[in-house]
């Protein structure tokens, strides 16, 4: 897409959002009354950012840009506090979203011959329905099993010959573990591709899932405010996630300045072509970097690095910034343990404490105490080396850390008191 096409697309989105009085007021404050007032990309960059709070203030339907009779579906993201943020889709939006997801699946070699087990939750969350419509658009066979009911998942995976598994990476790990327990080997299955997203995961987790399930594990990204899954997806070359052309990305630093290609900051998206709930410069709170170019797979346009964390996932422990993904990398680089962990942050005598609970594998669990102590020391050293502050490490029994069927909860920050 060249600059003129992009500006035309951005102007169309502006025209659409101006149907919502809230946006009219916001844009008027920066002298934008008509789409034609945005003549250059610099004009566009003067537009104030949209935040989750804007959606909350307009709860539930205040930012819809089409009359409600044209909205055929809503989704919502739960959020940890307060009201959910609600988004709406017209019939055309649903069609567009299905095409975007179908293209994402095609990019990783999924075809109409595939049998797709959709183990993302169906409901207000966009994961299940988003993948489902994409799968039908592609002409593949959708198994709308939703998340949970793990034993049933295994039975269906084997009996129906699922070739593609769609779920969060943490649930995929739980499924892998449950398959091993049930004595079902990867050779008994037809699985070949995993479409994993909705939460941060690491390269080491990819290696783990690929080995245990005998698949290619690919990253899919999205958020309900922008559309849902499919905003970006990896191809088989794994050179970052290719951003679909219906979304215009920017990356900003903490002060809101636009960062050059390749630098990490907060991802901001503007939708292009979405009618029911168009968004202008939406702050995702996700940390990533973007580059423009052509991939060997044929994609030309923007690509983003995998989202390693959200801005608000960052823990400040004794003044040092720590991301859960750094701890995951450190843990998975040490053998003899399961990739199940829980990070517990607390405060004792006015000092922040960090404890990492790590599950040992059933084999290591039967080792001698001395060997377990050595493993614990090794983990501690690795974590401290990675994050730069001291941590306590506690080895816990196999299966003692709760498994996730959707987005995993890896951090318990006891310093945050809920009143
Ligand atoms: O999680 C949409 C989705 C469903 C994406 C299924 C992929 C697969 P929300 O519930 O609105 O939507 O949550 C969006 O989840 O801002 C990120 O913080 C996180 N997230 C989504 N995909 C990834 C990913 C869906 N691949 C929030 N890697 C986003 C890291 C992700 N984080």
In this model, does residue 79 exceed pLDDT 80?
no
Name the residue of 198, 203, 279 to mutate for ligand 1: max ligand atoms within 8 A of Cβ: 198
Domains along the chain with CATH numbers: 90-311 (3.40.50.12780), 314-417 (3.30.300.30)
**Per-residue pLDDT, 419:** 45
**Per-residue pLDDT, 82:** 75
Q: What is the mean pLDDT of the chain?
A: 95
Q: Which atom of ligand 1 is nearest to the CA of 241?
A: 26
Mean pLDDT of 338-356: 94
234-282 tens-digit pLDDT = 999 999 999 999 999 999 999 999 999 999 999 999 999 999 999 999 9
In this model, does residue 337 exceed pLDDT 90?
no
In this model, does residue 418 exceed pLDDT 80?
no
The confidence band for 81, taking pLDDT boundaries of 50, 70 and 90, is low
> What's the pTM?
0.95
Mean pLDDT of 186-199: 97
Mean pLDDT of 122-149: 98
For residue 385, the CA-to-ligand 1 centroid distance in Å is: 29
Give percent of the chain with pLDDT exceeding 70.
Answer: 99
In this model, does residue 366 exceed pLDDT 90?
no
**Per-residue pLDDT, 80:** 59
Nearest residue by C-alpha to atom 14 in ligand 1:
223
**Per-residue pLDDT, 417:** 60
For residue 188, the CA-to-ligand 1 centroid distance in Å is: 31
**Per-residue pLDDT, 217:** 98
**Per-residue pLDDT, 338:** 84
For residue 412, the CA-to-ligand 1 centroid distance in Å is: 20
Give percent of the chain with pLDDT exceeding 90.
Answer: 90
263 HSE (CA, 13 A, CB side):
10
Residues touching ligand 1 (Cβ under 6 Å) are: 77, 120, 125-127, 197-200, 219-224, 228-229, 284, 286, 307, 310
Nearest residue by C-alpha to atom 6 in ligand 1:
127
In this model, does residue 408 exceed pLDDT 90?
yes
In this model, does residue 16 exceed pLDDT 70?
yes
For residue 194, the CA-to-ligand 1 centroid distance in Å is: 15
Q: According to the 3-state scheme, what is the secondary structure of 22-76? A: HHHHHHHCCCCCCHHHCCCHHHHHCCCCECHHHHHHCCCCCCCCCCHHHEEEEEE
């Amino acid at each position: 897409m060249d600059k003129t096409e992009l500006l035309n697309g951005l102007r169309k989105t502006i025209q659409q959002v101006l149907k919502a009085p809230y946006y009219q007021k916001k844009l008027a404050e920066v002298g934008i009354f008509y789409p034609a007032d945005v003549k250059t990309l610099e004009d566009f960059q003067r537009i104030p950012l949209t935040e989750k709070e804007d959606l909350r203030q307009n709860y539930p339907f205040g930012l819809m840009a089409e009359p409600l009779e044209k909205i055929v579906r809503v989704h919502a993201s739960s959020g940890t506090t307060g009201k959910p943020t609600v988004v709406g889709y017209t019939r055309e939006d649903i069609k567009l979203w299905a095409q975007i997801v179908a293209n994402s699946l095609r990019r990783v070699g999924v075809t109409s011959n595939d049998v797709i087990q959709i183990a993302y939750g169906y409901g207000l969350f966009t994961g299940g329905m988003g993948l489902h419509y994409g799968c039908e658009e592609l002409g593949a066979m959708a198994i709308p099993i939703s998340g949970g009911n793990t034993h049933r998942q295994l039975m269906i995976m084997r009996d129906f010959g699922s070739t593609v598994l769609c779920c969060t990476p943490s649930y995929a790990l739980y499924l892998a573990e449950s398959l091993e327990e049930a004595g079902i080997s990867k050779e008994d299955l037809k699985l070949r591709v995993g479409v994993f997203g909705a939460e941060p995961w690491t390269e080491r987790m990819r290696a783990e899932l690929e080995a245990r399930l005998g698949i290619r594990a690919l990253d899919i990204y999205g958020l309900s405010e922008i559309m849902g899954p499919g905003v970006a997806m990896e191809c088989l070359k794994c050179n970052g996630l290719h951003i679909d052309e219906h979304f215009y990305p920017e990356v900003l630093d903490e002060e809101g300045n636009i960062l050059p290609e390749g630098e990490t900051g907060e991802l901001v998206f503007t939708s292009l072509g979405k009618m029911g709930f168009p968004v202008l410069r939406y702050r995702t709170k996700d940390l990533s970097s973007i580059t423009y170019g052509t991939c060997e797979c044929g994609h030309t346009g923007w690509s983003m690095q995998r989202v390693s964390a959200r801005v608000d996932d960052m823990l400040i422990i004794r003044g040092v910034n720590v991301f859960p993904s750094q701890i995951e990398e450190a843990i998975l680089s040490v053998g003899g343990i399961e990739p199940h962990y829980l990070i517990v942050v607390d405060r004792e005598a006015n000092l922040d404490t960090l404890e990492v609970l790590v599950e040992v594998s059933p084999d290591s669990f039967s080792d001698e105490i001395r060997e377990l102590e050595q493993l614990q020391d090794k983990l501690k050293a690795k974590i401290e080396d990675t994050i730069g502050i001291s941590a306590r490490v506690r080895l816990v029994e196999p299966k003692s850390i709760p498994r996730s069927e959707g987005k995993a909860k890896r951090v318990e920050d006891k310093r945050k008191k809920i009143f």
